[in-house]
């Protein structure tokens, strides 16, 4: 029973990080064959998924963040 509560809490707090990390890993594995440089590519895909997922987990406005990044001031 306690494990279910911990799992639900983990999922609720880090849902997008988990989903996008798994998605990045899946995409990377489908896109490449194994070698050192390709393994680095997998790492970068997972990192991008974690980074975007963290923003979504924090309930920030991703659109505003991207617009602010590309703003010309």
**pLDDT, tens digit, for every residue of 4-16?**
888 888 888 888 8
Please give the pLDDT value at position 14: 87
Which residues of the chain fall below pLDDT 50? none
Please give the pLDDT value at position 5: 87
**What CA–CA distance (Å, rounded) separates 2 from 6?**
6
pTM of the model: 0.49
């Amino acid at each position: 029973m306690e494990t279910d509560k911990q799992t639900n809490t983990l999922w609720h707090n880090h849902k997008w990080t988990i989903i996008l990390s798994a998605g990045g890993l899946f995409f990377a594995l489908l896109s490449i064959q194994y070698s050192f440089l390709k393994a680095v590519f997998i790492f970068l895909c997972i990192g991008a998924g974690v980074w975007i997922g963290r923003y979504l987990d924090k309930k920030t406005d991703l659109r505003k963040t991207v617009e602010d990044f590309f703003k010309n001031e």
